[in-house]
Amino acid sequence: MTTSTLSRIKIAFLTWVGAYTVITLILGVLGPTIASWPLPLRTLLISVLMVIALSGLVIPALTRIFAGWIAPARPDDQRLSPDDQRLSPEDQRLSPVPS
């Protein structure tokens, strides 16, 4: 399985976890109030609230929290530590910004 496929599966899983949680909260809070409403109206309200909550709050938070799990750094990533980011004397000479 490729890394991008695995990342998509992980994002789909997190989306399901978020959707399940949001639907459960909505039904827990509004369930008794909307229980007598017609089914299409209940599902309309729940779906609108769910999409707003997922797209605006839940998915951004989950992807931030689980970023390392969704797309872990590959061993060949050449990420520089702050100490390694200092410019060499040659690079300092070529840099337009004084260091």
Q: What is the pLDDT of residues 47-91, one digit of tens each?
A: 999 999 999 999 999 999 999 999 887 766 555 555 555 656 666
> Is residue 32's pLDDT more than 70?
yes
**3-state SS string for the chain:** CCHHHHHHHHHHHHHHHHHHHHHHHHHHHHHHHHCCCCHHHHHHHHHHHHHHHHHHHHHHHHHHHCHHHHCCCCCCCCCCCCHHHCCCHHHHHHCCCCC
Q: pLDDT band for position 4 (50/70/90)?
A: confident
Residue among 89, 49, 73 at smallest CA distance from 41: 49
Asked whether the whole model's pTM tops 0.85, one would answer no
